[in-house]
Amino acid sequence: EWDFVLPVIQHLGPLRPGFKGKQGLDDFDAEAIVGAVRHGAPLQAVRDYLAYYDKGVVKRHLEGQVEGFPTIFYAVASNSVEIVRIWVSHGASVSTTHQPTGVPLLGFAIANGGNLEGEDTTAMVTTLLSLGACPRVIPEELFRDFCSDIADRAAAIGQDNGKECDSEAAWCKNPLYRKKLAQTLNLSQRYVLELATKLKKPSIRHRQVARLRNAEAILGVPYFLIGQTIAAGRLVQKLLSYLIMPSPRPLVLVFAGPSGHGKTELSRKMGYLLNLPLLVVDCTTVNREMELFGPRHPYTGAERGSPLNNFLTENAGRRCVVFMDEFEKTTRDIHQALLLPFDNGNPDGPVGEYQDRRNLNKVDCSNTIWILATNAVDHTIKAFCEDNPQILNQDEPERETLTRKLSRTVRADFLDQFDAPVTGRISEFIPFLPFSPSEQAVVGHKFLLELIAKVRPPVKLSKDSKWSGEQLLGNVNLQAKRGAAVCKRLAADYNADLGARSMLAAVEHVQELLMDAYLEEEEEIVEGGGMRDYRVDVVGGEVV
């Protein structure tokens, strides 16, 4: 039996690459880099150390062990998804196990949440699944019906003899291991585990194309959104198609759906995973072409350009993302100005070219990914979902057919509201659907986790009049033992027109309750005090 605690590795000081190359000498020190990671070494120092050595040498060592454990276990123990991505990029496998106990890396990542005081491991679990870790190594009964609490039956699960385990989860026949997972799995982790069992896995060719185009990370996008598997799936499919057959025309996508349902988040996540620069344009602030792209010569201000003009110029010929939020607020003047960069961003193309407003140089926008976010067709999407509720079901066999039908309906509605020249330049219409009741609860849990992290740091009293860096509400260990019950109650405040914002408001009510309890304490707020426990629960149908 193992208590999920890794051996202590000595920290040998700053990482310094050693001698390289002569007579095949290999002085790569796996223990040194593991020790550095365990003691919080900067990401760049880790990258520099690994980059110094031959790729084959690095792969061999990172696939190896330190003190009897695969090195990637130590990377996961750091709870840094960036460190884990570095390990995987150098050949480490997310499917590895600790051989003596059979504990898989994913199982360790979940159980490790009990070792990290005050830290949430949901991002780590999600990242491992997005990188290909198999969810079946976790007993299904621990995450089936994810929106119900399992803490109350943790003891019963711990006593289970494991007969229901799939072969991949045989390690969990040990009742102590099962009980540990039951105690540490939270609502968001159970959700992403169940989601991972339902998502269609990328084919060999999907992975090949993504690898050849340095875009492998995009295949993991569906894991990082709550709901919106249709939108994420269609985005991935369109991007891969675009990468297979590059076009001189840029990719122009419409993200259509109610406010607060993941349009901005998906764009940001895509940019992050592909390491692409992203510019967000608030379309409510621009009414004329010159406000969007900047004045033309000889008008005043032409030499300064505009944020969009300068962004396109800085990223000319390279992949980048322009996210135009609330596109329905744009005017016909803006539509007309966008036709050229939408139609053919290639300066050598036959239609024309976009010019830098500052110096009139040609700008290649052919690799720009334009995303137009709009809720102008909300009524169309909501009505379609009401008439075809099965589209919200991940297991529905007709879901793909319904999705294509919805996209065509959205296109037709978009054409009615915007002129044909703009609509004709759209590469794909991607619909965003309202959240299901269980997804609403998971959204609430996401914000609840953020609140828990926000109030945990120590109290810090400001020494200046500007309250710089002050934290009066601190040293709070906020617990949600029955997280699913709490979040389902919060989900009662969900509003389809507001989406996640309505759930944020519900969690802000929890914050107000916490503030009231905190201020009722009959002692002064001081630095250096101990942690105080608070619990959020549901009593009599109300959050307390």
Q: What is the pLDDT of residues 31-75, one digit of tens each?
A: 989 999 988 889 999 999 999 888 998 999 999 999 999 999 999
Q: What is the pLDDT of residues 515-537, one digit of tens each?
A: 999 999 888 888 888 889 999 99
Q: What is the pLDDT of residues 438-485, one digit of tens each?
A: 999 999 999 999 999 999 999 888 766 566 678 888 899 999 888 999
pLDDT at 7 over 90: yes
CB 320 within 8 A of CB 366: no
Coil, strand or helix: which one is 49?
helix
Q: What is the pLDDT of residues 145-158, one digit of tens each?
A: 888 887 555 544 54
* pLDDT score for 11: 78
Alpha carbons 445 and 435: distance in angstroms, whole number? 14
Alpha carbons 164 and 166: distance in angstroms, whole number? 7
Alpha carbons 147 and 437: distance in angstroms, whole number? 9
Q: What is the pLDDT of residues 178-215, one digit of tens each?
A: 989 998 999 999 999 999 999 988 889 988 988 888 88
Q: What is the pLDDT of residues 87-125, one digit of tens each?
A: 999 999 999 999 999 999 999 999 999 888 878 999 999
Sequence-separated (6 or more) residues with CB below 8 Å from residue 320: 276, 277, 278, 279, 311, 312, 367, 368, 369
Phi, psi (deg, nearest 5) at residue 402: -65, -35
* pLDDT score for 166: 64
Strands 542-543 and 538-539 turn out to be antiparallel
Mean residue pLDDT of the chain comes to 87
Alpha carbons 91 and 371: distance in angstroms, whole number? 33
Q: Which of 14-18, 51-55, 317-321, 533-537 has the lowest mean pLDDT?
A: 14-18
* pLDDT score for 24: 43
Task: Indicate the pTM of the whole model.
Answer: 0.89
